Amino acid sequence: MEEIVRRDIMETLEQAVFSLKEADAFRVKELSNTVIHNASIFQDEDSLSVAVLLYALSKTMERGRIDLAGISQIIARAKSALQTFNIDEFRLANKMALRKISETDSRLKLFVNSVIEQAQLRKGSRICMHGVSVARTASILGISRWELMQYLGRTGFHEDMPETVNSASRLALAMKVFGA
């Protein structure tokens, strides 16, 4: 696990424990979105598993069917394991938390698919921002063009493009450079 990913997951888990004490499902879901962003950048399984955990946890909290104190202890254990660089213990705690959620809510597989889809779409938008076509990006990631285009439409990144120089200014610059 890369150091930047480890530190980011530790910080996220710390915020998650606090949000669990406050029973703030919305904040837990926001934390999931943050980790999904990292999962799409670094393509690591630990970020993805934490994103799934937090998303599933937020959905289960919305339905009011989870022992927040118990799950909070497991997440604190995962954070402690990362602090001591014990990656295996972190992964074990993460699995325990997911198992506890799946015992409470049978829709865990749907949550996993949702998080993976969100990560793919975010990664796709980043690739498109670097100039790769929507069709090519969708093909690389194994998603449909329409899904990616729908996500890109919501991000509004195309509206942030710098303005181009008009043709008269480009012509004037070319004439100046080439002395014409």
- Dump pLDDT digits (tens) for 76-128: 999 999 999 999 999 999 888 888 877 776 766 676 667 667 766 766 676 67
Cα-Cα-Cα-Cα torsion 36, 87, 105, 21, nearest 10 degrees, comes to -80
* Mean pLDDT across the chain: 79
Distance, in Å, from the CA atom of 149 to the CA atom of 63, rounded to the nearest integer, reads 32
What's the burial of 170, exposed, middle or buried (CB within 10 Å: 0-12/13-18/19+)?
exposed
Q: What percent of the chain is modeled with pLDDT above 70?
A: 79
- 5 Cβ contact partners less than 8 Å away, ≥ 6 residues apart: 38, 42, 44, 46, 47
Distance, in Å, from the CA atom of 126 to the CA atom of 86, rounded to the nearest integer, reads 32
Residue 144 pLDDT level (bands cut at 50, 70, 90): confident
Q: Count up the domains in the chain and report the number.
A: 2
**90 and 134 part of one domain:** no
Distance, in Å, from the CA atom of 147 to the CA atom of 134, rounded to the nearest integer, reads 10
* Domain housing 143: 119-180
**12 and 94 part of one domain:** yes
Residue 62 pLDDT level (bands cut at 50, 70, 90): confident
**91 and 160 part of one domain:** no
Reading phi first (left if > 0) and then psi (alpha if -120 to 50, else beta), residue 162 is in beta
- Which pLDDT belongs to residue 92? 92
Residue 79 lies in a domain: yes
